[in-house]
């Protein structure tokens, strides 16, 4: 659920880059901290689940918004699922308009509904780690807590998918820290932001959701919707109206850059 979003992007310095390389090589440091808001650019922890070996190719730890598709393009992102009622409906609308999206999943939800995770992957969509508990204050928690939230969720999503790659990490409510961004990148996940918040979680009408999205598209390409966390009938109805409208306006659809 989107509540806030603080951009903490930027280019990591030489020392931080060296640390990430050290992590990728397999020598991981465990440095608990009592306050995640003061998280240092230390070597990321492994968490409770080892998961897949971190990607060999270096992933940029800055928060991405840009699309990998040139020209007039949007990235559709859908958070807080998978949900047995709303995820299939969202998938049906996306298929109808031949649009691919990034599904940012909660770890226990993915574990509970592996058939939905597999359907998302089979349809050509991409996976994003949205933590275990959707704690929007996790930037004020210890590094060990952040590590557990991110890496355990990643493992659950990968297992539920049958081994598909989790390519992105989105902090709940935008609660990124330098540590969590580097941890995600060291494990092959690009930190993922948003530019357009549909505010579909606030309970407004379909018309309100549509107006919000149309009014914010000038902010940038990455658009945030939800398929979990409550009744998402309005989200599905808004997607049914917005996707063809976006196409009529000349937009294409891509994925966030890696």
Give the catalytic positions in this structure. 79, 226
Pair 239, 110: CB distance under 8 Å: no
Enumerate residues 6+ apart whose C-beta is below 8 A from 237.
Answer: 206
Q: Rounded to whole angstroms, how far apart are CA atoms 145 and 247?
A: 42
Q: How far is CA 17 from CA 32, 121, 175, in A?
A: 20, 31, 22
Pair 1, 131: CB distance under 8 Å: no
Omega within 30 of 0 (cis) for the link into 140: no
Question: Please, which contacts does 236-239 make with residues 24 or more away whose CB atoms are closer than 8 Å?
Answer: 236/86, 236/89, 236/90, 236/93, 237/206, 238/198, 238/200, 238/206, 238/209, 238/210, 238/213, 239/90, 239/93, 239/94
Output the six-digit token pair for 254.
């891509």
State CA 24 to chain mean position distance: 21
Using alpha carbons, select from 117, 113, 108 the residue that is nearest to residue 148. 108
């Amino acid at each position: 659920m989107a509540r806030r979003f603080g951009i903490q992007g930027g280019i990591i310095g030489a020392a931080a880059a060296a640390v990430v390389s050290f992590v990728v090589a397999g020598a991981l440091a465990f440095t608990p901290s009592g306050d995640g808001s003061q998280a240092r650019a230390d070597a990321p922890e492994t968490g409770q689940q080892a998961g897949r070996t971190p990607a060999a190719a270096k992933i940029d730890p800055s928060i991405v918004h840009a699309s990998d598709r040139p020209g007039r393009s949007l990235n559709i992102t859908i958070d807080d699922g998978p949900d047995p009622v709303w995820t299939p409906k969202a998938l049906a609308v996306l298929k109808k308009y031949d649009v691919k999206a990034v599904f940012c999943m909660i770890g226990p939800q993915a574990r509970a509904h592996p058939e939905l995770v597999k359907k998302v992957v089979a349809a050509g969509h991409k996976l994003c780690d949205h933590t275990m508990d959707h704690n929007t204050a996790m930037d004020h928690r210890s590094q060990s807590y952040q590590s557990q939230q991110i890496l355990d969720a990643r493992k659950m999503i990968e297992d539920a998918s049958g081994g598909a790659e989790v390519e992105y990490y989105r902090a709940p409510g935008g609660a990124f820290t330098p540590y969590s961004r580097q941890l995600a990148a060291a494990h092959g996940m690009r930190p993922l932001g948003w530019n357009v918040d549909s505010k579909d979680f606030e309970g407004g009408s379909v018309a309100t959701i549509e107006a919000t999205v149309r009014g914010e598209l000038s902010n940038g390409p990455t658009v945030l919707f939800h398929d979990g966390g409550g009744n998402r009938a309005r989200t599905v109805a808004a997607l049914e109206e917005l996707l063809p409208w976006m196409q009529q306006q000349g937009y294409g659809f891509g994925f966030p850059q890696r």
